[in-house]
Amino acid sequence: MTERPLFVLTEQIDNPRTCVNHLLFPAHCETRWHRHERDYVIVPMQACELLIDTGEGPKPVALKPGECYYRDAGVEHNVINPSDTDITLIEVEIK
């Protein structure tokens, strides 16, 4: 089995209250399994569909540009871009 390429996280802001990251998901990449240590908000920059696996198999999640979603810290998961298109998200971690 060939490993997927990894996504690219670029920190944009890190201050006492928040950390803001630019997340680039090149075509067919993944985050690999990880867990967030802080609550966070994701802001999709374009319409897309990602696969999110929380241990029960990858499930498709449709995202719309500018429609944010919130997640509590602590959930282990892997995010996969199954498409042929690069996807950009903004992640805001709450300290």
pLDDT, position 91: 98
d(C-alpha 45, C-alpha 60), whole Å: 17
Model confidence pLDDT, tens digit, residues 24-37 = 999 999 999 999 99
Provide the pLDDT confidence category of residue 3 given band limits of 50, 70 and 90. Answer: confident
Encoded tokens for 13 = 């802001």
Asked if residues 82 and 28 have their Cβ atoms less than 8 Å apart, the reply is yes
Region class of 84: left (phi > 0), else alpha (psi between -120 and 50), else beta: alpha
pLDDT, position 2: 64
Question: For residue 68, what are the CA distances in angstroms to 45, 57, 84, 90?
Answer: 10, 23, 23, 9
| pTM listed for this prediction | 0.93
For the chain, percent of residues with pLDDT exceeding 70: 98
